Amino acid sequence: MLKTHISVPGSLMLLGEHSVLNGGTCLVCSINKRIFIQIIPHKDKKLIIDSDHGWYESSIDNLEDDVRFKFVIEVCKFFKNEISGGIKIHIKSEFSSAIGFGSSAAVTVGTFFALFHFINGFLPDNFFTYKNSLNIVRKIQRWASGADIIASIFGGINEYKQPHNNILKNKAIIKPSIVNYQNTLDLTAVYCGYKKSTDDVINEVIIEEYLHDQDYLIDVQFKQIEECVNEGCIALKNNDLEKLGNLMNDQHNIMDSIGLNTYELQEIHDILTNDHSIYGAKISGSGLGDCIIGLGRSEKWEQDLSERSIIYEKYPIFDLSIDKNGIMVL
């Protein structure tokens, strides 16, 4: 077994939340914030995890659950019968898992990729990594689209579609449709201070709509989001940032109409869209919390503290760019 050290990028959804969960297309990008994972042999038959979240130690033959490391532990269960001896996994992240930068997908992909290489001495096939990582994530998060997994594997901006995604019942995972774009974009992400899991949002809003005979309306809204994605792909090909920004605003309004907006998210959206350096902005992720992402680099947030409004001091802000590299062996 080899000592293995890899890094994997986080991700953000540019367009296509929710419609991608129902077989639609999305635009997802990797960002310049990474998770670093190192695996080294350990003399005892134990799994040891050392990360920003703390310390974990358990017998590999009987892995104990720990909510802090649930994705890593689930990956280790997948490989349990192939691990001879013990392993120590060091995890270091450039971003907090409390913020929706695709940390669950990134740490799952990274751990899967690293463990496969550690055990076999060669790198896994990308589809093999994608399929198994998505199955692992879905054991914990039922409504995982796989989009952030693709971003972490390939890097750049990806037009992604998993035809077997279904809001009521996912079917067997098949090879997805992927188009990779190498555009360079500046992004501004602003965190509202709280977030809800995708599963909670789907249960509270989307499934509730279906159960109350609003499935026609929600399907229309999903199709509207899909249209934003299709036009967004054209805008990317033409490097038309103004058009792409307008489409982000359009999708934000659709998500608002579905019931996925909050006061804080709308306040951030209003700030960003009134900034002449931002082309457009939208809710990032499932909604009811987390981030607003803006296309462009906010100049107002870069002003001296004395020149900023109080609102600008309420929310953490992140200057981001596209990471054109996916998972990397270091």
Q: Is residue 326 part of a domain?
A: no
Whether 35 and 90 share a structural domain: yes
Whether 171 and 30 share a structural domain: yes
- The pLDDT of residue 166 is above 80: no
Question: Of 183, 204, 239, which closes a domain?
Answer: 183
- C-alpha 247 chain-centroid distance: 20
Q: Is residue 329 part of a domain?
A: no
- C-alpha 165 chain-centroid distance: 16
Whether 260 and 178 share a structural domain: no
Q: What is the mean pLDDT of residues 81-104?
A: 93
Whether 16 and 54 share a structural domain: yes
Whether 17 and 81 share a structural domain: yes
Residue 247 has what pLDDT? 98
223 φ, ψ to 5°?
-65, -35
**CA gap 267, 311 in Å, rounded:** 9
Alpha helices in the chain (DSSP H): 70-79, 103-120, 126-140, 147-154, 198-201, 207-211, 215-237, 241-258, 263-273
Whether 165 and 217 share a structural domain: no
Whether 26 and 172 share a structural domain: yes
Whether 179 and 294 share a structural domain: no
Give residue-wise pLDDT tens across range 196-242: 988 888 888 877 665 565 566 678 888 999 999 999 999 999 999 99
pLDDT-above-70 percentage for the chain:
92
Q: Is residue 219 part of a domain?
A: yes
Residue 307 has what pLDDT? 46
Q: Is residue 327 part of a domain?
A: no
Give residue 72's identity as a one-letter amino acid code.
Answer: V
Q: Is residue 328 part of a domain?
A: no
Burial 55-66 (b: 16+ CB within 10 A, else e): ebebebeebeee
3-state class (DSSP) for residue 193: coil
pTM, two decimal places? 0.93
Q: Is residue 246 part of a domain?
A: yes
Residue 296's CATH number = 3.30.70.890
Whether 165 and 246 share a structural domain: no
Question: Of 158, 183, 208, which closes a domain?
Answer: 183
Question: Of 141, 160, 183, which closes a domain?
Answer: 183
Whether 133 and 227 share a structural domain: no
Residue 83's CATH number = 3.30.230.10
**CA gap 287, 208 in Å, rounded:** 15
Whether 155 and 86 share a structural domain: yes
Parent domain of 310: 186-321
Residue 100 has what pLDDT? 87
Q: Which residues pair with 294 in a beta bridge?
A: 188, 281
The domain total for the chain is 2
- The pLDDT of residue 128 is above 90: yes
Whether 237 and 223 share a structural domain: yes
Give residue-wise pLDDT tens across range 276-294: 999 999 999 889 999 999 9
Q: Is residue 330 part of a domain?
A: no
